[in-house]
């Protein structure tokens, strides 16, 4: 048995992506953490900030995330005063999400750290390689994998 019998290079695309996600989570969290935000939260605040005052459905769709999962994830950010939701005046079913002043400030703080993490990672693997990797992952994210009903 090879010494690194437990290095686990799985053939499963899903397992491989999740393993890399955990690794990157450790890395980005270590660096972004001092801002008080998890890297996931920084990413979510960024997504909100970058798209104006998106509705929950728009955010969920963009992030390929379940709507209710998004709702759950927003809770601590709302509790901590970084985010607020306002009912749309046209359609009261819709809730638009936006950063508070404090949220913008906190995001700015976290983004500085994010840049350090991003840069440090790309110094290691190469910006071009990272670019290709993201491109491949985005391709997967955009696939229409609805049951082909191969009847």
Partner DNA sequence: AATTAATAGTGGCATATGCCAGTAATTAAC
Partner DNA sequence: GTTAATTACTGGCATATGCCACTATTAATT
Query: Rounded to whole angstroms, how far apart are CA atoms 57 and 94?
Result: 8
Q: Could you say which of its own copies, DNA, none residue 118 binds, taking C-beta under 5 to 8 angstroms by partner kind? A: its own copies
Q: Could you say which of DNA, its own copies, none residue 76 binds, taking C-beta under 5 to 8 angstroms by partner kind? A: DNA
Please report, in angstroms and rounded to a whole number, the separation of the first and last CA atoms in the chain: 45
The residue from 31, 35, 55, 103 that contacts DNA (CB under 7 A) is: 55
Residue 35 DSSP label: G
Residue 83: Cβ within 10 Å count = 24
Which residue's CB is nearer to its own copies, number 5 or number 101?
Answer: 5
Contact 46/87 with Cβ under 8 angstroms?
A: no
Contact 78/85 with Cβ under 8 angstroms?
A: yes
Query: Rounded to whole angstroms, how far apart are CA atoms 22 and 33?
Result: 15
Q: Considering only residues 6-65, where is the footprint of its own copies by CB under 8 A?
A: 6-28, 30, 39-40, 43, 46-47, 51, 54, 58-59, 61-65
Taking the complex as a whole, the smallest distance from the CB of residue 83 to DNA amounts, in Å, to 11
Q: Could you say which of its own copies, DNA, none residue 85 binds, taking C-beta under 5 to 8 angstroms by partner kind? A: DNA
With binding defined as CB under 7 A, does residue 49 bind DNA? no
With binding defined as CB under 7 A, does residue 81 bind DNA? no
CA angle 21, 26, 30 (to 5 degrees): 140
Return residues touching DNA (CB under 7 A).
Answer: 18, 22, 25-26, 29, 38, 40-41, 44, 55-57, 64-69, 71-73, 76, 79, 85, 91-96
């Amino acid at each position: 048995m090879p010494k690194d019998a437990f290095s686990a290079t799985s053939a499963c695309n899903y397992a491989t992506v999740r393993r890399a996600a955990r690794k990157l989570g450790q890395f980005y969290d270590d660096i972004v953490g001092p801002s008080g935000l998890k890297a996931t939260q920084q990413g979510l605040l960024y997504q909100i900030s970058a798209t104006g005052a998106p509705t929950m459905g728009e955010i969920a769709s963009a992030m390929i995330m379940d709507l209710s999962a998004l709702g759950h994830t927003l809770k601590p950010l709302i509790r901590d005063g970084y985010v607020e939701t306002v009912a749309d005046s046209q359609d009261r079913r819709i809730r638009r999400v936006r950063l508070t002043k404090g949220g913008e400030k906190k995001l700015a703080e976290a983004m500085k750290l994010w840049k350090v993490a991003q840069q440090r990672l790309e110094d290691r693997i190469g910006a071009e390689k990272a670019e290709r990797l993201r491109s491949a992952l985005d391709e997967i994210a955009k696939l229409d994998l609805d049951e082909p009903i191969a009847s």
